[in-house]
Structure 1
Amino acid sequence: MYRRLIAKRSVTACLLAAGFCHALAGNAPLWLRPVRISPDGKQIAFCYMGDIYTVPAGGGAARQLTTSPAYDTAPCWSPDGKHIAFSSDRSGSMDVYVMPAGGGPARRLTAHSATETVAGWLDESTILFSRTGHPTARDIIFPGSTYKKMYRVSLSGGRQTLYSALPMDNVCVGHDGSIIYNNVKGYENLWRKHHTSSITRDVWSVKDGQYQQLTTTHAEVRDPLWNPTGEGFYCIDEEDGTLNVTQRTANGKRIQLTHFHGSPVRYLSVSDQGTLCFSHDGGIYTLTPGSQPQPVSVSIISDNKPEPLRQDKVRQGATSISVSPDGKQVAFILNGDVYVTDAEYKTTRQLTDTPGRERTVSFRPDGKAVAYDSERGGVWSIYECEIKGSKE
């Protein structure tokens, strides 16, 4: 059996387990994100288990648009609502694809080996996307994944052209061609919460080559969106301690539209009529300014068959080898898991099969168990596992 020698954050683990059981009991799909509402406000595109779906904004049965075994993400409606651009790693790295909004064959528009993520549409025939840096061996230490450049590509395909060498995040294109975006000051984990620092993102706008800073706060301000009425913009910010939806008027006044506590709001989008859509605590919500957020009920019918198990013969790559005191067994780490092999009979047993990474294995003095480091829940701790027995 496992015996944890260093216990940390046990309360957090219990709460997470309770939340997971509650999600199963509710029998409702969760973590439907990223989400993006259509320009007419009638449909919402979202990602679930690596595929792209759409659902009526009022809730109902979702329609699956992609069925590729690859990972499809970042769906983005064209301004006329006829197409959805998205990113997929169908060919190894993330490339830009486009498909009819009602479903149909997807066309690949880019083929660069770097990661390319759809950011928006400049107009009904031009897609805007980001591309990570592709450094040479000399400057590989440069964080290319953080300082991305913006490119554009035609709906019909063809050569991609540089749109902006200035790093931009969460880009929104207005009807007049103006752009609102988050600047990039340095590296920070995208999912970090509850912090105020000099690296938090600010909101900027650009039109006709003229840049203007719109926010100056030490709290996070993300996902800026032009208000369709032309009066300021929407965003999510953390000024009250939790990422919530807010409105900024043309004169800079801040109006808080949601009042969630704890779980943050993510992936804000807006329709041409001003209906906001976002993800919160794994679910999808819509919001009309001046009213309360409305959860979107989603039902998904999908045949998600598990991939068949595959047996691999591996003859190299083992690390952190430890020999038992009697010299009859060898423990080692392979692909982040702990194995023990018999030196005489050449039989090997896998002791761990966790999503976390294990390292630094060592036999106990009596040879009946091994100890090792394991990363569980983002925390490195020491574990012990008995070699024999029905439970590990």
Structure 2
Amino acid sequence: MRSGRMSQRMRFFAVPLALGVLLLSLPSFAQEDVNGLFRYPDVSGDRVVFTSEGDLWTASLNGGDAVRLTRDDGREWYAHFSPDGQWIAFSAQYEGNTDVYVIPSSGGEPRRLTYHGARDEVVGWTPDSRNIVFRSPRIQPSRVWQLYTIPVEGGFEQEFGLDRGTRISFEPGGTRFAFNRLRREERPWKRYRGGWAMDIWVGDLGTMQFDKVTSFEGTDFFPMWIGDRIYFLSDRSGRFNLFSMAPDGSGIRQHTFEEEWDLSNASTDGKTIIYQKKYDLYAYDIASGESRLLDIHLPSDRFRARERLVKNPGRYIDSYTLPNEARRIAIAARGEVFTFPVEKSGYIRRLMRNPDSREKYVAFSPDGKKVAIMSDASGEEEIWIASSDGREEAKRLTTGGDTWRFPMV
């Protein structure tokens, strides 16, 4: 992709306005049976809390209507019930930065607990419900996250005592805990096998003994210590599924057998494990070993899905490119690719009209007749070639896209 110089930008300063109008006019392709995107769940008894539309909601473990707990222009996520079920701790952006907040589990005014300039992400509670556990990169640079605790009534946070830590689950009635040292849960790398693969450790601050109990070259994360076993998510079966093991890493058992979709964002109250699959929430009953879909209805006004004027369309641009003669510009925005005339009025052309795929990088051929497009229309990110006039159907150029592809240059 060749970025335009400042002089070139001045020549097509009106493009973002046209893009804004076009983005506004794009039809919605959401399926009517999709009720909402439910993420970052937690469970306490017969109640669940989760994030949807950037806000917190609660619902019954038996499904039904959800109740909105928060509403703010920023995000509220990483919610966790206190073990006694009285409080919900979560991360939010009410004042702009990502900080730790707490509300009664029935709802109420959020109370801010942290004020540091770094990101503070809630990961749980201490077993006595007195302290919230969160992770933050506030001390060390280079993506090194550490665990901290802060009292629910407020006060000064304290380092937990680990040089690295991102997730933690405490041994019931004991002094040990299972934890992850790296933070990579939300990165889109599939079947990752590199140096950032997450392992599960078991530690004890009293004896200062720490053991890495998983040796799989892929990812093992979201440890949940339940009874005498540690449950966790892993992609050792291909997709991310639910597994469990003894605290020393032996006796690994697989509990779910998903082959199409990855499980993510698992959490537990000791009796039920709740997790996200696709855009829905599922509950795994530890006693019976059965999983079920939570039939939750989101009674939302769908404010963020309503048609509205895009005030700053330039922020939606993923990439842009100019051919040598600079007569038209190609722009990738919101998963689609458009070409615009640069110096005079003319047609806005939309390439690769596929609502089920995302196109995000573009590069013109030197003669301006072809556009290279990075698209996942085949299921993985591949390079496609489309005619710049939109008259010919785009053709896939590459295969083997189950790896990371950098933008075209």
TM-score when normalising by structure 2: 0.71
State whether residues 333 and 361 of structure 1, in contact with CA within 8 Å, keep that contact through their aligned partners in structure 2. Answer: no
Match of residue 131 from structure 2: 126
Q: Secondary structure at the match of 1:167?
A: coil
Deviation at 1:42?
A: 1.0
Q: CA RMSD in A?
A: 3.6
- 2:389 matched residue in structure 1: 386
Out of 253, 259, 262, the position equivalent to 1:261 is: 259
The corresponding residue for 1:295 is: 293
The CA deviation at 1:62 is: 1.0
1:157 matched to 2:162: no
Aligned equivalents of 1:323, 1:104: Cα separation in 2 = 58
5+ residue gaps in structure 2? 1-27, 392-409
The residue identity in structure 1 corresponding to 2:225 is W
Identify if the C-alpha distance between structure 1 residues 93 and 307 changes in structure 2 by more than 3 Å, giving closer, same or farther.
Answer: farther
Offset, 1:380: 4.5
Question: For 1:133-212, what aligned pairs fall within 5 Å after superposition?
Answer: 143-144=142-143, 147-175=144-172, 176=174, 178-184=176-182, 190-196=187-193, 199-207=196-204, 208=206, 209-212=208-211
Residue 400 (structure 2) aligns with: none
Letter in 1 for 2:217: H
Q: What residue in structure 1 maps to residue 39 of structure 2?
A: 33
Q: Quick check: 2:363–2:372 contact (8 Å CA) kept in 1?
A: yes
Residue of structure 1 equivalent to 2:97: 93
Instruction: Report deviation, 1:301.
Output: 0.6
Q: Which residues of 2 match residues 37-52 of structure 1 at below 5 A? A: 37-38=43-44, 41-52=45-56
8 Å Cα contact 2:332-2:360 kept in structure 1: no
**Deviation digits for residues 312-338 of structure 1, max 9, x if unmatched?**
598xx997555748xxx4637698976
* Structure 1 residue 351: Cα displacement: 5.1
Residue 61 of structure 2 is aligned to residue 57 of structure 1:
yes
Amino acid at match of 2:276: S
Letter of the 1:129 counterpart: F
1:28/1:298 contact within 8 Å kept = no
1:226 aligns with 225
Q: Is the CA contact 1:76–1:84 (under 8 Å) kept in the aligned structure 2?
A: yes
Indicate how the Cα distance of structure 1 residues 248 and 312 shifts in structure 2: closer, same or farther if over 3 A, else same. Answer: closer
CA distance in 1, matches of 2:346, 2:37: 38
Q: Read off the aligned partner of 2:74 and give its amino acid letter.
A: A
Percent identity at matched positions?
Answer: 20
Equivalent in the alignment of 2:119: 115
Question: Would the alpha carbon gap of residues 66 and 371 (structure 1) be closer, same or farther in structure 2, given more than 3 Å must change?
Answer: farther
Shift, 1:107, TM fit:
1.8
Q: TM-score, normalised by structure 1?
A: 0.74
- Structure 1: where are the runs of 5+ without partners? 1-19, 136-141
Q: 1:373 to 1:158 in 2, by over 3 A?
A: farther
Aligned residues, how many? 342
